[in-house]
Structures are given as C-alpha cells and as structure tokens.
Chain A
Amino acid sequence: EPPAVFTAFFDGLRSFRADFTQEVLDRHGDRVQEGSGEVFIQRPGRFRWNYAEPYTQVILGDGRTLWTYDADLEQATRKPQEEVLMGTPAVLLSSVEDPAEVFQIAAVGGEGDIAWVELMPRDADSQFEAIHLGFADGMLRRMILHDSFGQRTDIRFTNAQRNVELDPELFRFDPPPGTDVLGGEH
C-alpha cells in the first residue's frame, strides 16, 4: 500500500503544472548539466516538458505519440507513446495505471519539510534504478531519477499547481516550419 503522502497527491490527480530547475550529476557527484523550464501534465497520458535552458527542447506526450524536439538541431522525433516504458518519470506522472503495479513504493523518511517516497521499478531492465519523489504540504516538490550509470537527475518544482485548468493546445505538437519530423524507432 503506497504511503499516504504519495496517494494524497496521486489519487484524484487530473492535472499538474510547475516551473522546474534540473541538475544532472554524474556518478562522482559532479554536475554535468543544468536546465530549467515548465512542465504540464494532463491525465490520462498527456504531458509536456518545455526546456528553456540550457537550450530549447520539448518533450511532449499527446496521448498517442511521444514527441521530442530540439530547436537548434531543428529536428523532432515521434514515437508511439506506449513504447515509452511506464518506468519513465514523464509517464509516471501522466499515466492513470496503478503505479504500484510498476513500482515498489515506500516512504523513506523526511528531510526538512520534505517527505520522501522511493519508487523501485519492478521491471529489472528499466532504465532507472530508482525514482525519489519529495512531497511537502500535499504538493510534489522534487523528483530525483537514479539511472544505472549512477547518474542522478534532480528536478525541483516551484509554483506548482494541482488540478488546474490546462489549455488542450499545450498537448498538440506543431514544430516551426523547417523542422525535420522523423520516426524514432531506434
């Protein structure tokens, strides 16, 4: 049975919106990348990560197709969304399937005002070894992705809003003219 702080957030979650900053740390703890932007989630199945820093990238799930776009590279790839394993953070937030089927979920204590919940993928060859979610006063504040290289992607959410009205246009992908839009089967 997932911890109360987890279900308090995820049960009845219809939409979520927040600004985020992201730090990627390698296995030695050195910061290899920083980024920031805005995330929008509309359940079931739709999400949009707008990276403004360090460069303009969009990761968008419109419910059927996952689009990843890089403005400088002028290239977008599309992939059937169901190919994106449940074990990825974007899908975790937007999917309505029971996360407990995909993850072992356990409270792992608090740190300051944050209550931490650990999600261990049940699928052995998931790309992530663990996902840590940090909650404070009923809102998702932190998400840390631990991959099997020992790299950590640490995402902090601010100005977070839950079950707020989101414009459906946000989840429609229309790249600027001149963008190569390609299948991403690999």
Chain B
Amino acid sequence: CSGLATREPARVPAADTWTLEGRIALRLEDEGWHASVVWQQRPGSYRLRLQGPLGQGALELSGSAAGVILERADGRISQARDPDILLYQETGWQLPVSGLRYWVRGRPVPDIGTRSRRDDQGRLVELHQAGWDIRYTDFFQTGALPRRIELVNGEVRVKLIIDQWQHLPAADEADDAS
C-alpha cells in the first residue's frame, strides 16, 4: 500500500501495529494549513484522520494493498492507488503519506536510496529520501520514538508533532527501540 516501496522490505517491521496522535502543519510559500492527526497503522492497512480546529475540515484516508480511499466531512469519497497523489489531487496538500508511514517511526523507507545520520544513541536524526530532507528534533524517552519531525521538499515544509504513541500490547517489542 505504500507508493514508494516497490517490494515489501526483507524484514517486515514486526511492530506494524501502532497508533499515533499528534498535530501536523504544512507550509507552501505563504500558504499554510495545520490539523490534528490520528494515524492507526495495522500490518495490511491504515487509517489517517486529519481534522482542523473545532472539528473543521475533517477528512479520513483509509488505505490497504488494494489502494486508498479519501472521505471528507461532507461525505464526498474519492479513490486512488497512491495516498500521496490522492491527497494532493483532492486537497492541494503535498503530504508524503507513503514515506511518513516509515519516517514517523524513525525509520527510512526500505529499498530506496537513503542518506542518513544517527546520533550517539543510534537514533536517526537526519534522513534524505524520496526528495525529502527530514530532521528528527525531539524523541520520546522510552523506545526512542520520534516526537517532533520536520520535513522539507523544495518549497513544501511539514512539521509533525507526535503527542502520543499507542501500541497494541501484543505488537510492542524491542524493535521499536532501534
């Protein structure tokens, strides 16, 4: 379901069952938008809900291997193969959903070109992939999961703050701490 990774990575991330709650801000020249984010990731599918303050402009992206559906608050539904393209076509927002699925976990997208830097604790702090320059500027104490990520791609700037990670008990394992 990810537009970037052509083949499933050799080591399927065991912990592909998580939920993140946070906020995202996007900037394109002097235009901007920000929203709250709830992202529920399961091994074969995900649901990403974006919502402006006071419940305005809510929309939901639900994706699986078959493709992705975008549903808006007014009930309009649209579909596509790739979430990044669908979101851009429908809203004009350029958000790298396919890549973020890995980047939010502090991991590069597998099997594509990568330049990266890690800090002395082995945490990914800088990553250059798929045209995006990604910096991890804050982490959670436990599990070293990212808390604040800034992404730049040409004129587009994205700031993501993760307020809370949730893992289904069974899925949590040491892998997350890498």
Chain A residues closer than 8 Å to B167, beta-carbon distance: none
Q: Does B159 contact A (CB under 8 A)?
A: yes
A148 touches B23 (CB 8 A): no
CA distance A70 to B22 in the complex (A): 12
Asked if A21 CB lies within 8 Å of chain B CBs, one says no
Partner of B75, one of A74, A77, A125, A183: A125
Q: Verify B58–A88 contact, CB threshold 8 A.
A: no
> Which residues does chain B contribute within 8 Å of A24, judged by CB atoms?
55
**B34 contacts A77, CB within 8 Å?**
yes
A164: Cβ under 8 A from any B Cβ: no
Taking the complex as formed, is B71 at the interface, i.e. its CB lies under 8 A from any CB of chain A? yes
Contact with B along A29-54 (1 / 0, CB 8 A): 00011000000000000000101001
Cβ B55 vs Cβ A75 within 8 A: no
A126 touching B74, Cβ below 8 Å: yes
User: Which among A32, A73, A89 has the greatest number of chain B C-beta atoms within 10 A?
Assistant: A73
- A119 on the B face (CB < 8 A): no
Q: Whole-angstrom distance from the CB of A183 to the nearest CB of chain B?
A: 5
* B3: Cβ under 8 A from any A Cβ: no
Is B31 within 8 A of A186, CB to CB? Answer: yes
Do A73 and B56 touch across chains, with their CB atoms under 8 A apart? no
B101 at the interface (CB under 8 A from A): no
**CB within 8 Å of A: which of B101-127?**
none
For window 84-132 of chain A, which residues contact chain B by CB distance below 8 Å?
84, 88-90, 124-128
Report the minimal beta-carbon distance from A24 to chain B, rounded to whole angstroms. Answer: 8
Q: Check B75–A55 contact: CB distance below 8 A.
A: no
Q: Flag if A125 contacts B74 (CB, 8 Å).
A: yes
Of residues 124 through 178 on chain B, the ones whose CB sits less than 8 Å from some CB of chain A are: 159, 161, 163
Assess whether A15 is interfacial by the CB under 8 Å rule.
Answer: no
Assuming the contacts A68-B53, A75-B27, asked whether A147 and B73 have C-beta atoms less than 8 A apart, the reply is: yes
Contacts A72-B161, A183-B32 given; indicate if A32 touches B52 (C-beta within 8 A): no
Q: In the bound complex, what is the Cα–Cα distance between A153 and B73 (angstroms)?
A: 14
Give A183's nearest chain B residue, CB to CB: B31
Given the interface contacts A55-B23, A127-B57, does A185 sit within 8 Å of B75 by beta carbon? no
Mind listing 8 A-B residue pairs with CB under 8 Å?
A77-B34, A88-B56, A89-B54, A128-B73, A148-B75, A149-B49, A180-B32, A182-B27
List 9 tightest A-B contacts by C-beta distance, closest first.
Answer: A182-B32, A125-B74, A127-B73, A73-B25, A75-B25, A77-B32, A59-B53, A68-B53, A153-B55
